[in-house]
Amino acid sequence: APRGGSRPAAPAARAPLPQVTVRDALNQALDEELERDERVFLLGEEVAQYDGAYKISRGLWKKFGDKRIIDTPISEMGFTGIAVGAAMAGLRPVCEFMTFNFSMQAIDQVINSAAKTCYMSAGSIAVPIVFRGPNGASAGVAAQHSQCFAAWYGHCPGLKVVSPWSSEDAKGLLKTSIRDDNPVVMLENELLYGVPFEMSEEAQSKDFLIPIGKAKVERQGTHVTLVSHSRPVGHCLEAAAVLAKEGVECEVINLRTIRPMDIETIETSVVKTNHLVTVEGGWPQFGVGAEICARIMEGPAFNYLDAPAVRVTGADVPMPYAKILEDNCIPQVKDIIFAVKKTLNI
């Protein structure tokens, strides 16, 4: 500093935001919505006395009691039917599947009873229900516990389908889903439950909601658009960080919602970057990426593409049990980097 002068004050450091795991964010959302509206209740296997198979409902049974937090038998078709009937009668159930692979037991209730009723009753019967639980591959649980249902449920009119990545996604989308008058399928990821994310002051409020049907640009970029949902969003951000060191700037879009799909945000990005790569844990055929590619081809952004859109997906096989085979069946950061370089021809 010049002699006799005073040093300029250093800018105040931003206080670090608290880190909250996806598990705790979901627990907060359930706690707040159960407290806010006495019509809301949670049912599923192990959700009450055991505090939830994944501890998402930890502490809720002790706080709200048997009528609001209900342990069910291992009978998805039965308890899903009870929940759908309760929704038609004016309650707002949250129906947990221990994994979405078991929602196949209840697919008739989810689609034929929940999804189609509002339309078939000309709007006179609302079905405000949330179906939630872990979706897609976990670790070492083989084919019958590893399927991604984003494309299955995203295919069906009458449902809204959300797929959170971060803790803020999880809290905001669950609260919005519980308040929605339509059936919502919320596809969580078991491997994200214990992952901490920064949570803004806004997200810690009891009024924090994230609109269904709106994607979020997680990283700005100019060379290529990466579109993803759920856990692979993190892989896309890792790939983008590696590629940035090589001078390639990726724009990363977190879909957040599968149905209705926010194609406008993707189009805006493609118009800017002229390249598109989609990334998902599910299978390629009729997948979420396939739908995005078709919509881009049919819309105004197609004329801005400088190369064909590329999909990065899970392998087209039932999930193997062995870890090394499993790793080769799920998109990894290196697969995303390879796809980006192929698209950019570098």
CA distances from 253 to 74, 111, 227, 269 (A): 37, 29, 5, 9
What class has domain 19-204? alpha beta
Q: What is the C-alpha to C-alpha distance for residues 172 and 207, in angstroms, rounded to an integer?
A: 9
What is the value of pTM for the model shown?
0.93
Cα 176 to chain center, whole Å?
Answer: 13
pLDDT tens-digit profile of 174-223? 999 999 999 999 999 999 999 999 999 999 999 999 999 999 999 999 99
All CATH 3.40.50.920 domain ranges in the chain, comma separated: 216-344
Tell me the mean pLDDT in the region 230-250. Answer: 98
Residues annotated as catalytic (active site), given as ranges = 76, 145
pLDDT tens-digit profile of 47-79? 999 999 999 999 999 999 999 999 999 999 999
Tell me the mean pLDDT in the region 1-5. Answer: 51
Q: What is the C-alpha to C-alpha distance for residues 232 and 331, in angstroms, rounded to an integer?
A: 8
Is the domain spanning 216-344 CATH 3.40.50.920? The answer is: yes
All CATH 3.40.50.970 domain ranges in the chain, comma separated: 19-204
Supply the DSSP symbol for 9.
P
Tell me the mean pLDDT in the region 253-263. Answer: 98
Output the pLDDT for position 15: 77
For residue 12, pLDDT beyond 80 = no
Supply the DSSP symbol for 54.
T
The amino acid occupying position 102 is F
